[in-house]
Amino acid sequence: MEKRARFLLDTVDAMIAVNGPEFVAVKISPGWTFHNVYDTDPIATFTYVTKELSKRRIAYLQVGNYGMDWDVYGTLRPLFDGPFMVVAGFTRASAAAMVSAGGADLVAFGQVYISNPDLAERYRNGWPSIASTTTRSTSRARRGIRTILSIAIRRIRRRCCPAIPRRCRLWKQGMSDRIH
Ligand SMILES: Cc1cc2nc3c(=O)[nH]c(=O)nc-3n(C[C@H](O)[C@H](O)[C@H](O)COP(=O)(O)O)c2cc1C
């Protein structure tokens, strides 16, 4: 486990060495599978990492539960001695309930902020918020990125690698695979 967590903890330590722990925060994301990230033993991994981060007195720990079937927040919250922020799927009501119950000190919002840049004011004043348009905007963004990528690749191919078009194709395929 030490080896598994070393990259994160060494990075955090290096950042702490520059400005102190109060300027360093970490987000951990049990269940996140972006870029094919996968953990065979997430409870052991995130329990260890949370305890280690707690020792370092960082500014806060943000934790997202991305579809795990174990109580991510309930398990990790007692292990972290500092501000504990949760994220993923919260509404104004569920966030308020979470904080009131002591399950978190802070709640972060993602998608709903995209359609409500003034979300804090809306929530503070009890005004209605507009439903998230993330699906629409991210698919538009993906299409945009693909177009830009295709133009760039065409230019590169024309300029530097007409002799190795196959490699370019493979590279393009690899890049496309990374845009989810
Ligand atoms: C467009 C978009 C980009 C995101 N980028 C990141 C990111 O770079 N790193 C990260 O940890 N989470 C990222 N997230 C996930 C959010 O931090 C958040 O966990 C997720 O949106 C779930 O919270 P929500 O239900 O309030 O949206 C992103 C989410 C969206 C919609």
- In a shared domain, residues 99 and 123: yes
Q: Which of 65, 87, 106, 140 to mutate to test the pocket of ligand 1 (most atoms within 8 A of CB)?
A: 87
Which amino acid appears at position 107 of this protein?
V
Give per-residue pLDDT as tens, 19-56: 999 999 999 999 998 888 888 999 999 999 999 999 99
Paired sense of beta strands 60-64 and 106-108, if any = unpaired
pTM: 0.76
107's enclosing H/E stretch is: strand 106-108
Domain total of the chain: 2
- In a shared domain, residues 163 and 78: no
The ligand 1 atom nearest the CA atom of 109: 26
Show the domain range for 148: 135-178
> Which residues have CB under 6 Å of ligand 1?
27, 29, 64, 87-90, 109-112, 134, 138
- In a shared domain, residues 84 and 119: yes
- In a shared domain, residues 79 and 114: yes
SS3 content of the chain, % helix, strand, coil (to 5): 60, 10, 30
Q: What is the pLDDT of residue 69?
A: 95
Check which CATH number belongs to the domain holding 102 and give it.
3.20.20.70
Give per-residue pLDDT as tens, 71-99: 999 999 999 999 999 999 999 999 999 99
- In a shared domain, residues 37 and 122: yes
